[in-house]
Structure 1
């Protein structure tokens, strides 16, 4: 029989893995490819990604990971002397602050700013200025959230492998 705490840990690990994988894949493939795009194509592609990503599957992982992390932390906190609690707690703090929080305060405002930029009426110089204002900060925040997704995933895997 699967214990409630084990199920929560599994769900936290799976949703965190999905987010870490998404951010990692974006970093090692899409961002690399986008470097070669002209400014207008880059901006259009990012605008389209920002629209497409807000869907039920993404939202399950994006909102589910902090939720399941908190629930798993609480479940293992109640298990006196559980060797898993510390790993899960650390993963939760790092992910919620460094990945989920960074996305909310860093990436999403930049995405909204980009969404308000009209490519149709803009000059090539305006597009260049928008890309410069967007891409650097967005990629810096993205790097932070990627690291702060992968590290918690490692901690959760350690917790899953621990006895008790």
Structure 2
């Protein structure tokens, strides 16, 4: 049982950290770089990135962070670890809701606009996407997943002290 408890906690920590890294990279690099491009490049580039991110690597991290953190909470019920794991779970649940309620619908709307070569008013499509809103919510996701990662790291430290 010890190995299963530790494995769940390590898996939760790693997948949460990977997801925090993805959101952080979008925050400080991808959106900053795309923001400096013309409308055609922004729309086409974002559409391509959004299609590419739906892959087994990302989905394992994004969904795994939630699943493994839930598993870690059930498998590590001790009062020393559980508050940290539950804090991470609450933070990640917020991230999951934001992703599904804000970022994914915005991404889907931009993809639904069609091929940039067939869009008559690319500037309007870009304005309708609202980069500032997307980036603001992504910042919340970045900070929350990073905080969740920190909570899980601390739970691992605590786990090492209280076997």
TM-score when scaled to structure 2? 0.91
| Shift >6 Å, 4+ stretches | none
- Specify the SS of the correspondent of 2:76: helix
Partner of 1:90: 87
Over aligned residues, Cα RMSD in angstroms?
A: 1.4
Counterparts of 1:106 and 1:10 in 2: how far apart (Å)?
Answer: 29
- The structure in which a higher percent of residues are helix is 2
Please say if 1:132 is aligned against 2:113: no
Unaligned runs of at least 5 residues, structure 1: none
Counterparts of 2:92 and 2:157 in 1: how far apart (Å)?
Answer: 19
Counterparts of 2:156 and 2:63 in 1: how far apart (Å)?
Answer: 21
Partner of 1:121: 118
Unaligned runs of at least 5 residues, structure 2: none
Cα drift, residue 2 of structure 1: 5.1
Counterparts of 2:2 and 2:26 in 1: how far apart (Å)?
Answer: 34
Aligned residues: 158
Counterparts of 1:28 and 1:116 in 2: how far apart (Å)?
Answer: 26
